[in-house]
Chain A
C-alpha cells in the first residue's frame, strides 16, 4: 500500500513536470467548452442543468483518455525505465495500481477544472446540484474505465502510437455496445438476454443513468469490476512479458 502511494506520487508529479498536464487540461477545457456551448446548445435550451456538458463526455474521453494512458507502460518500455521500476521491491500489481491511480487522479484534476461550467449554470439558474455531483462522479468512474483499458493495452507494446490507436478502438467497442444502432442489429433474431448482455457492457448505458442523478450500485459495480479486470490483465501481461 505504501509503495503504491510512493509510485502514485512520483507519477502524478511527472504529469506536472512536463507540458503533458497543461496541454491536456487546456485542450480538455477547450473541447468541453465548445461541445457544451455550441454543439450542446447550453444556452438555447434554457434549462438549468449540465446535461449538454456531460452528454459529450463518453466521446471526449474516447480521444483524450487514450492520449493519457498510451504512455503509461509503452513509454517505460521505450526508455528502459521499466527495468528500474520492476526491479524495485514492489509487486507488479502495486506498480500497475500506482500508475493507474496517478493517471486517474490526473483526470480528476482535469475534470475538476471544469468548475466554471458549474458556476455558470448556478449563476444563470437554480440547478439540482445533487444531480450534477452524481454526474461528475459518473464521469470520473467512466474515465477510470477508459484508463484501465488504455493502461492494459499500453502494457502490450513499446509504441505509444499503437497503444493510442488500439485503445481508442477498444474503448469505442464499450461505447458502441449501448448505441441503439448496434442493439437494433441484434433485435429480431437474438434473444433479449443477448441484447441485454451486450448493452450491459456499454459505458453509455451505465453513464446515462448516473448522469441523470441516479447513482445505482449496479453501475458503480460495473465500473469497479471493469477497472479491476483490466488492471489484473495489465499485471498478468507485464508478468508474462518477463518470461517471453
Chain B
C-alpha cells in the first residue's frame, strides 16, 4: 500500500532523511519512533507530498507521489505536526471545507462530519473559533479533519500530543478500530503507546532506520524488558561521534 524506496532529504548540506526504505500493508499500524530531529516529520512530509525528496521515492496505493501527487494525496488522511488549522474557522466550517475538497459527496458530508465529531468528541466546540480552542481540542479537530473522508491511509504526526489521559485512551481505541482495513503510520514519543496500538515499530535516528520489527521483539531485546531502555540503547549507539 505504501512503498518507500531509499528516501532521502537534504536541507542544504544537512541530511535529514538518509536512505529510508520500508513498505506498509493494510491492517498494519506502524509506530514511527526516534529522538527529536531524527527525521520522522520530514519522512511523513515526503509521503504526503508536502516536501519533494532529494532522492528515492514514495508510492501510495500504486501512485507515485512525485509523478501523480493528486492520485496519491486522494488516498491519504494527514495530521501534520502541531495540527495546523485555519484559526479563523470553526471546527464545523473546517470539516465541511476539508470534506468538500477531499471529495466526500455532498449527500454524505453531514453524516460523515457527525460521525467524526462523535469519534473525537468535539461536539461541544463545533461552532467555536479554532484559535480560541485549547491545545487538546485543536489536536482533536486536526484528527477529525484527517479522517473525515475515511481514507485508506492515515499519516498521523504525534496524534496524542497534548491530549489528556482519557483522550489519549480514546484516540488509541479509535486507531485500533480503524486499523483493520487501513494503513496507519503514526509518530510518537510515548513508548507505551507503541506497545498499545502498533503492530510494528520503526526507529529512526539521524535519518536512518535503526530498528524495524514488532514492539514485542523490541522489548525482548532489553534485559529489564523496558522499552525506554532499548530505545535509548539503539538511538544513542547510532549517534556519530561529535567533534
B22 on the A face (CB < 8 A): no
Q: What residues of chain B lie closer than 8 Å to A13, measured between beta carbons? A: 93
Does the CB pair A86–B50 fall under 8 Å? yes
Nearest neighbor of B84 in chain A, beta-carbon distance: A80
Nearest neighbor of A13 in chain B, beta-carbon distance: B93
Query: Which of B11, B80, B84 has the largest count of A CB atoms less than 10 A from its CB?
Result: B84
A89 to B61, CA, bound (A): 14
A242 to B102, CA, bound (A): 21
Does the CB pair A86–B49 fall under 8 Å? yes
Chain B positions 11-66 with a Cβ under 8 Å from a chain A Cβ: 11, 45, 48-52, 54
A243 on the B face (CB < 8 A): yes
Q: What residues of chain B lie closer than 8 Å to A243, measured between beta carbons? A: 51-52, 54
Does the CB pair A244–B80 fall under 8 Å? no
Q: What residues of chain B lie closer than 8 Å to A79, measured between beta carbons? A: 84, 86-87
Does the CB pair B101–A89 fall under 8 Å? yes
A81 to B83, CA, bound (A): 9
Interface 0/1 of A75-87, CB less than 8 Å to B: 0000111011011
Nearest neighbor of B99 in chain A, beta-carbon distance: A6
Between A and B, how many residue pairs show CB distances below 8 Å? Answer: 67
A244 to B89, CA, bound (A): 30
Of A10, A17, A89, A244, which one neighbours B102 at CB under 8 angstroms? A89
User: Which of the 9-residue segments B68-76, B173-181, B232-240 touches chain A?
Assistant: B68-76
Does the CB pair B70–A87 fall under 8 Å? no
A29 to B68, CA, bound (A): 46
B82 on the A face (CB < 8 A): yes
Q: What residues of chain B lie closer than 8 Å to A3, measured between beta carbons? A: 101
Does the CB pair A242–B50 fall under 8 Å? yes
Does the CB pair B80–A83 fall under 8 Å? yes
A79 to B103, CA, bound (A): 25
Min CB distance B43 to A, Å, is 14
Known: A79-B87, A90-B70, A244-B11. A10 touches B80 (CB 8 A): no
A44 to B196, CA, bound (A): 81
A18 to B50, CA, bound (A): 28
Does the CB pair B101–A90 fall under 8 Å? yes
Does the CB pair B80–A89 fall under 8 Å? no
Nearest neighbor of B41 in chain A, beta-carbon distance: A83
Min CB distance B127 to A, Å, is 12
Does the CB pair A87–B102 fall under 8 Å? no
Q: What residues of chain B lie closer than 8 Å to A6, measured between beta carbons? A: 97, 100-101
Known: A86-B49, A88-B73, A90-B70. A10 touches B84 (CB 8 A): no
Known: A10-B97, A243-B52. A87 touches B85 (CB 8 A): no
Does the CB pair A81–B86 fall under 8 Å? yes
Does the CB pair B84–A84 fall under 8 Å? yes
Does the CB pair B88–A17 fall under 8 Å? yes
Min CB distance A74 to B, Å, is 14
A13 to B82, CA, bound (A): 24
Query: Which of A7, A79, A84 has the largest count of B CB atoms less than 10 A from its CB?
Result: A84
Nearest neighbor of A14 in chain B, beta-carbon distance: B88
Known: A6-B97, A89-B103. A80 touches B73 (CB 8 A): no
A91 on the B face (CB < 8 A): yes
A244 to B11, CA, bound (A): 6
Does the CB pair B73–A87 fall under 8 Å? yes
A90 to B69, CA, bound (A): 9
Min CB distance B159 to A, Å, is 15
Min CB distance B147 to A, Å, is 14
21 contacts between A and B (CB under 8 A): A7-B101, A14-B86, A14-B89, A17-B88, A17-B89, A18-B88, A79-B84, A80-B80, A80-B84, A81-B84, A86-B50, A87-B73, A87-B76, A87-B80, A89-B70, A89-B74, A89-B101, A90-B70, A91-B70, A243-B52, A244-B11
Given contacts A14-B88, A18-B88, A84-B86, 6 further A-B contacts (CB under 8 A): A6-B101, A80-B80, A83-B84, A87-B76, A89-B70, A243-B51
The 9 closest A-B pairs by CB, nearest first: A80-B84, A243-B52, A89-B74, A89-B73, A83-B80, A87-B48, A242-B52, A81-B84, A17-B88
